[in-house]
Structure 1
């Protein structure tokens, strides 16, 4: 039995990054920065309506996204192409100490067990990427957290 999008799990991962919203947002749309904390290669920056191809070369993985919504320094929504409704929304909320970044992924398909397994894996992935962004933007450190999460899965 497949889950419907209405009842499918939703992933939410969030962290405070001690930088202004415009700076944090810019890091998420510009692969010069994003490749230092999330994916390893990108076809280009994100902008309203843009499409981009991302690669995680260490894992031999790749995906394409299309920007569905783009609100400068506030909100970014991407649809994962080639999927049946998978969507990620990034929110950039001002905070007294910087910006709270929240990633929300929805649109999982498959059986309930498959959707739950995907949601658990995705939660860990977004948490790892957000921690990498925090280290980069607050301290100038490239943690390599996404790269090193599964070292036994590296493509040789």
Structure 2
């Protein structure tokens, strides 16, 4: 049995608003303690094992950070607005309205639920559906690489994405 996708219904489902802005929420379970998951993002030496190649400095509240992606000869800036050690990171992409909140919820001493919520998508953007899908794909990929790195020591997954 084949199902036809109703794009109007799918797009309407994405139009959930949080504080007046569109958001995209991605969640994963990582079988590692919250402090290890937190350090993987904020430590410039660790982020290269699953996401960007490196970052210009340790992520701290109020800092502007440059993230480098060597394989694509690219870089992007972020501003870290808030940090709650081992619990929450809130940052904004440079030159964009979108903000990202990374929340860590310890289920026990060895298991963490990570939630990445990106907000700022405009509901009147004609390319909204494609932007939401691309964003979800990106965060699922990042968190998959994070899981591989922290749970199994695999640090080469991030270079496997082909577009």
Q: Normalised by the shorter chain, which TM-score bucket?
A: 0.7 to 0.9
The number of residues matched between the two structures is 147
Q: Is contact 2:30-2:114 (8 Å) kept?
A: yes
Q: Name the CA shift for 1:113/1:15 in 2 (closer, same or farther; >3 Å).
A: same
Higher relative contact order (CA 8 A, sep 6+): 1
1:31-53 per-position Cα deviation (integer Å, ceiling 9, x unaligned): 21111101113211101111101
Q: Distance in 1 between matches of 2:29 and 2:117?
A: 15
Q: TM-score, normalised by structure 1?
A: 0.84
Is the deviation greater in 109-118 or in 128-137? 109-118
Q: Name the CA shift for 1:6/1:72 in 2 (closer, same or farther; >3 Å).
A: closer
Match of 1:93 in 2: 105
Q: Distance in 2 between matches of 1:46 and 1:141?
A: 23
Q: Where does 1:56-135 land on structure 2 (aligned, <5 Å)?
A: 56-83=69-96, 85-96=97-108, 98-109=111-122, 111-135=124-148
Is the deviation greater in 69-78 or in 32-41? 32-41
Q: CA deviation at 1:7?
A: 5.6
RMSD: 2.2
Q: TM-score, normalised by structure 2?
A: 0.81
SS at match of 1:12: strand
Greater Rg by CA: 2
User: Where does structure 1 lack aligned partners over 5 or more consecutive residues?
Assistant: none
